[in-house]
Amino acid sequence: MKQFNKSTNILIFTFIITIFLFTSCTDDDVRNDPLSIIESSAPIQDQYIVVLKSDYEGKTTRKKLGYDAEIKQLRKEIPSKFSELNISNDQIKQTYGFALKGFTAVLNSNQLEKLRMDPRVKSIEQDYIISLGKPSGTPGGGGGGTDPAQETPWGINRIGGTTDGTGKTAWIIDSGIDSDHPDINVDVNRSRSYVTKGKYSIEDGNGHGTHVAGTVAALNNNIGVVGVAAGATIVALRVLDSRGSGQFSWTISALDYIAANGSAGDAVNMSLGPQSRYTDTAVDGAAEAVASLGIRIAIAAGNSSDDSLYYSPARVGLNNSNIYTVASMTSSDSWSSFSNYGTPVDVIAPGSSVKSTYKDGGYATLSGTSMASPHVCGLLLLGNVTTDGSVTRTGNSDSYPIAHN
């Protein structure tokens, strides 16, 4: 059970995020044109996430070859290990070997049925599209010629102010990062993109990931904003495209990468998930595997005004000491009307009208549980999360402790 210095509630909240989403002819050509909003979440036809049992005999061993070499080797193994299925290399979309053993592939009905009967297989689930939710806030962009004077956003003050995070690492699983933003310390070498459309780049064409990163660790450098763990190193793991759309299988790849390359004491932020009720044991299991390594995870509860127990990965905050599911509150210590709730939610944090960094060197004020979660991610980098007061859900007696430094 998670330990707090003050009263503790074990609760869960889901994910959906509220920001402007942009679309264009190609995923990475998107910039500042608010043409349409992506709101749909749906299964991906004929694409499945296959998790293998722990005693599956692959040729690789954790960290023996290094992440890239092992993933490449696993990809070569699948067609031969499952030769009776006649799976081609083109059918294999992702392979996993650290947070879990398995792969994602496009399968026909015959291949799927044979895999379901294979004793080496632990689970098979259809891959699923996840996407960001309805817009709420004032996105900006284009830093311009003069950087704004530094200010401390209200949420940073509410949870106990900023602390030096230099030397600590936060992994941001999101829409990428503006890698040359003057207010964020990004480790480009360790960053990765799992988006398979458009240009292979960690650059944030949406703005969401950069906003999350700034709340965690914006520099204390006299410009813009300052983060919870100011100056911490940010590693960008891009799993959402410029429209804010991605696949659960990409998120599993990001978690697999962290399992191979992260260290105990690191923190992960996951402000993502499905917009309607959907659970996935593969993505949940990958998150739990990362947490078992001493790497702590903050997950947004979601913006559906619903019980987070029915959403992955938000539901994994339940009874996991290294995973915190986070609901959203306003600057008046009131419940954010959009926020998910429920037994997996551990804490509540500032999520309404939160100012932070944004794409193209800019800054933006946005709302959502996506904005609440990185406050807790920053606290997890600094040590144990304490609490300071509580927020009662509107029209309900449920009370959630406020995260604090």
Active site residues: 174, 208, 370
CB 399 within 8 A of CB 325: no
The partner residues of 220 in beta bridges, in order of sequence, read none
Q: Which two tokens stand for residue 182?
A: 């003057």
Q: How many whole angstroms separate alpha carbon 166 and alpha carbon 330? A: 29
Q: In which residue are the tokens 């306003």 written?
A: 330
387: exposed, middle or buried (C-beta count within 10 Å: 0-12, 13-18, 19+)?
A: buried
CB 404 within 8 A of CB 390: no
Q: Find, among 143, 77, 96, the residue nearest to 287 by Cα.
A: 96
Q: Find, among 281, 30, 36, 258, the residue nearest to 270 by Cα.
A: 258
Q: How far does CA 314 lie from the centroid of its chain?
A: 10
Q: Find, among 352, 361, 348, 346, the residue nearest to 389 by Cα.
A: 348
